[in-house]
Structure 1
Amino acid sequence: MDGIIFDVDGTLWDSTEAVARSWNQAIEENTDFSLSLTADWLKSLFGKTMDEITLALFPSCPKEERDRIGYLCFNYENRLLETDHGVLYPDVALTLESLSQKTDLYIVSNCQCGYIEVFLKTMGLGKYIKDFLCFGQTQVPKNESIRLLMERNHLQDVVYVGDTSGDFDACQKADVPFIYASYGFGDIPYPPRQIGAIGELPALLGL
């Protein structure tokens, strides 16, 4: 195995409470909307691309206005997460430390630029992750981002660990084996392989 690629939200941590606070602040300070977001609502949106999230939240706005609001929300989010951290799932740090001694670890997410960096910095996990890509960098669907990361790291034999049907679909399109994190945000009825906790991953992979 060349490596393991991870999703972030719903797979490694849950930042929805903090993100909801940051987005509500951005919307209140920069728009006339009375929209109030909740963590549960965001869980239904996380995993989608930035463009898809802003369209779901502000469907009546012209694209230019959606982009403006989205830019502000994502910037407020990155700043708040520096101090108001997301919640790491149990045993994530220990599992990544153990796996990193046996294979290379990567991240591919549909998030904005700066988000993965904040996650790795605040959780102290940067030393375990060799490389990452996000939608903010590539502006392409997740399956293409996965392939781009594989190409630049010369990867042939990898698995992707994620929690949503979007992750599963991306892996099918990218021709990459998928492992479903059933403790996350999504619901996949018949996943090929699954884990109920991140700590189950090494045994599943024989590492």
Structure 2
Amino acid sequence: MKQNTDSLIFDLDGTLWDATATVARAWDEARKQVDFDIQEITQEDIRSVAGMQHDLIYDKFFPDLTDAQKKELIKVSGRVEMQHLKKDGGNLFTGMKEALEYLHGNYKLFIVSNCQDGYIEAFYEFHHLSHLFEDHECSGRTGNPKGENLKVIIKRNDLQNPVYVGDTKGDYEASLVAGIPFVYAAYGFGKTPDYDIYLKSPADLKRLF
């Protein structure tokens, strides 16, 4: 696969970084800024929905809210989350920065995530990594699921032999939609028995590519 690959497309949460502590703090603050009651969202809760399309997370966590309440919560939590991410960011997985810098010399790099619009830019800004990536896309901007956004990135950048690097079963399924190989980041948040390449750690990227 290394001989044919021309690009790597990365998932973000659970693959490149762990921002769950920051996001959980943001949720706690957002709870206090709406005039209806919602349950506490923990760091483990955030991990459990990693890879889920951003707007669908609210349906999972808050099924009893009205559409108007969900709309308000999306607006408030999104704003607060961006404020926290720009200030506190998240932690890159050990060895990830070195792996990205190595890969950048040989492949085109991209990000496709189911996050809200602006989240990937916050990641770039906090870790000063925008120069390593050619392009990105997210469901928060397009309204489309991850598999469709993978196809958008592939077409927009004329990629011939990309692979998708992610950590969940949903990431694997997105790679099937896009018709590309899946590289499983087993060090991340999710679990999947289906993959083409297995990464025990980010350092494996330097060995396998």
TM-score by length of 2: 0.94
| DSSP-derived class of the 1:188 partner | coil
The answer for the alignment partner of 2:112 in structure 1 is 108
The answer to whether structure 1 residue 148 and structure 2 residue 152 are counterparts is yes
Which one of the candidate residues 65, 70, 74 is aligned to 2:69?
Answer: 65
Q: Are 1:9 and 2:36 counterparts?
A: no
Task: Determine the structure 2 residue equivalent to 1:133.
Answer: 137
8 A contact 1:24–1:35 mirrored in 2:
no
Equivalent residues of 1:181, 1:195 under 8 A apart = yes
Q: Which runs of 5+ in 2 are unaligned?
A: none
Cross-structure match for 1:192: 196
- Write the distance in 2 (CA, Å) between the matches of 1:190 and 1:154: 27
Query: Percent identity between the aligned chains?
Result: 37
Determine the C-alpha separation between the residues in 2 that align with 1:190 and 1:133.
24
Shift of 1:68: 1.8
* Greater alpha carbon shift after TM alignment, 148-157 vs 57-66: 57-66
CA distance in 2, matches of 1:98, 1:189: 28
Deviations 1:59-95 (Å, cap 9, x if unpaired)? 0112232122012112211111111121111111111
Structure 1 residue runs of 4 or more that deviate by more than 4 Å after TM superposition: none
| Counterpart AA for 2:102 | S
**Aligned match of 2:103 in 93, 99, 113?**
99
Q: CA deviation at 1:34?
A: 4.5
Tell me, yes or no, if the aligned pair for 1:28 and 1:34 is still in contact at 8 Å.
Answer: no
Equivalenced residues, count: 205
1:202 Cα shift?
2.5
Q: Which residue of 1 aligns with 2:47?
A: 43
Partner of 1:194, secondary structure, is strand
Q: Distance in 2 between matches of 1:129 and 1:198?
A: 17
Q: Which runs of 5+ in 1 are unaligned?
A: none
Q: Normalization by structure 1: what TM-score?
A: 0.95
Q: Show the counterpart of 1:180.
A: 184
What is the CA-CA distance between 1:36 and the residue it aligns to?
Answer: 1.1
Give the conservation status (yes or no) of the 8 Å contact 1:108–1:145: yes
* Residue type at the aligned position of 1:151: K
| Separation (CA, whole Å) in 2 of partners of 1:51 and 1:34 | 16
